[in-house]
Structure 1
């Protein structure tokens, strides 16, 4: 007799993979099956539920209202099931092999590089391959086991575990403030020279929270733009402009008085330091070991939040 409940669980898994991978072919690759099987599972699931879950065109897919509601519920349920399976199987395997990790350049140098020797001492059978880049890589297509990302909104396409929280602040050197004054509100930034960080979706807009906690954007006048946080920091230290910097990068400068926190009553939204990996399903022992190691290393309030 056919196990319908198991087929349905597989259909849920396939549907979730299609949404997470944004395509039938990519979901098939991730699940090690054919695109035809993926299409059949999704069609059968829609027929079983009596509702269309996905809008399909030749170029893209999108969720219907019913599909979005189902996806949100399934993500948590399937992640819990997969995590339990992975934990049970990983317990019997020692972490070993090459582990490819992508991380942002500045955060990687400042806060991750000191941790790698400690990890390798604990796990001598794991070899690390570290790639530092502020570009958001495709974990699956580029062959990374794990990525460290800095984000306000988390990761929609992958599993993410929060390691720590940081903040962005508006800051400038004492020389800049002495020469040009300090902005009293975000609206004043249009009258100051600012540095734009081009890795954000809108480099000429800085995000703040209003009195009710809702985010809003303030326009800036950027005289200088860069795609690297250290370069933005260097421009702020030079006294040439105001910068928008994470406290994990500017914390020492603030404590030493080399930079001044401007408009402290106008707080930008917090940012999260995340460990991101493609799926909890069949999570390797080496990835699990690294995620747990980093979570332990960053446990508590990190120095850049004090």
Structure 2
């Protein structure tokens, strides 16, 4: 005898007892009458006892059948209750969502949105992990992550939320001392501050509207694994940096930094929400994704 019970056969048996008919059971369960009959026969063979006395017009439980029927009915009821509770759990947004977000984007953009979300969904809690490193969603147990990049092909499901412009920036004082580059290749003669987690941190790639392309290997006195950490050195006039709008936007607006190479652009990047592949997502993850998609789309 196998260790695992034949729950399907027990459930079908309980339903036959309830409806007093193999044909009615087959109709309710969307099975063939033969499948229902085989399930009961499989259970009888396993138990070594006949469960029904059958004629062409009616069925009647045997003594063994009556004994088993009580427990099988309880098993079926418990299973139906467990399933309904699980469905209710998945349909009602509640529980923990583990979300990974780049450090500065998380503190400046995502975190300010969360009070509204948590007020709207009081049964959801969020574990917000802030790091510029690319996390392993599946291996580290995250439900979703926000990534700012030109995404490579992967098994993850990605949804683009908005664009994210990047700028080559420096302080006015830096450009007074060292001049303003007018072509990307001129960056080779400048102090370029680096960011570790660019898709190609050792090379900056550019293109213009005419289709011309250029690449340069930046070199300078500072390299960091969080883009915001470049701001003090850039504002102090000690180099040129490549930063996204959400990091350098305020410094550009107030004149602390200036953008150069306006006629050139780097490979288009965006803000993406990525999730592991698989079946339907829990309601708690789905509502957070829709909330973030709606709010962040306003940045486009």
* Fold in common (TM above 0.5): yes
Q: Distance in 1 between matches of 2:144 and 2:162?
A: 16
Evaluate the alpha carbon distance shift between residue 160 and residue 207 of structure 1 in structure 2; reply closer, same or farther with a 3 A threshold.
Answer: same
Is 1:239 the counterpart of 2:251 in the alignment? no
Partner of 2:3: none
Q: Are the counterparts in 1 of residues 147 and 273 from structure 2 also a CA contact under 8 Å?
A: yes
Is 1:289 the counterpart of 2:290 in the alignment? no
Q: Are the counterparts in 2 of residues 154 and 272 from structure 1 also a CA contact under 8 Å?
A: no
Q: Distance in 2 between matches of 1:233 and 1:214?
A: 30
Q: Are the counterparts in 2 of residues 96 and 285 from structure 1 also a CA contact under 8 Å?
A: yes
Report the alpha carbon displacement of residue 92 of structure 1 after superposing the two structures with TM.
Answer: 7.2
Partner of 2:175: 177
Give CA deviations for 1:77-131 in whole Å, capped at 9, x if unaligned. Answer: xxxxxxxxxxxx7997111101111000010011001011111011110011110
Give CA deviations for 1:139-158 in whole Å, capped at 9, x if unaligned. Answer: 11101111011111355220
Evaluate the alpha carbon distance shift between residue 297 and residue 280 of structure 1 in structure 2; reply closer, same or farther with a 3 A threshold.
Answer: farther
Q: Distance in 2 between matches of 1:210 and 1:125?
A: 49
Instruction: Return 196-205 or 209-218, whichever deviates more.
Output: 209-218
Report the alpha carbon displacement of residue 280 of structure 1 after superposing the two structures with TM.
Answer: 5.3
Q: Distance in 1 between matches of 2:161 and 2:199?
A: 23
Q: Secondary structure at the match of 2:125?
A: strand
CA RMSD of aligned residues (A): 2.0
Is 1:276 the counterpart of 2:268 in the alignment? no
Partner of 2:185: 187
Q: Distance in 2 between matches of 1:153 and 1:214?
A: 23
Superposed counterparts of 1:1-306, under 5 Å: 93-153=91-151, 156-213=154-211, 216-279=214-277, 281-300=279-298, 302=299
Report the alpha carbon displacement of residue 189 of structure 1 after superposing the two structures with TM.
Answer: 0.5
Report the alpha carbon displacement of residue 223 of structure 1 after superposing the two structures with TM.
Answer: 2.0
What stretches of structure 1 move > 4 A for 4+ residues in a row? Answer: 89-92, 212-216
Q: Secondary structure at the match of 2:140?
A: coil
Evaluate the alpha carbon distance shift between residue 127 and residue 231 of structure 1 in structure 2; reply closer, same or farther with a 3 A threshold.
Answer: same
Q: Distance in 2 between matches of 1:182 and 1:172?
A: 9
Evaluate the alpha carbon distance shift between residue 273 and residue 197 of structure 1 in structure 2; reply closer, same or farther with a 3 A threshold.
Answer: same
Q: Distance in 2 between matches of 1:216 and 1:189?
A: 11
TM-score (norm 1): 0.66
Report the alpha carbon displacement of residue 217 of structure 1 after superposing the two structures with TM.
Answer: 2.3
Q: Are the counterparts in 2 of residues 159 and 279 from structure 1 also a CA contact under 8 Å?
A: yes
Residue ranges of structure 2 left out of the alignment (5+ in a row): 1-86
Q: Are the counterparts in 1 of residues 155 and 277 from structure 2 also a CA contact under 8 Å?
A: no
Residue ranges of structure 1 left out of the alignment (5+ in a row): 1-88
Greater C-alpha radius of gyration: 2
Q: Distance in 2 between matches of 1:154 and 1:134?
A: 17
Q: Secondary structure at the match of 2:135?
A: coil
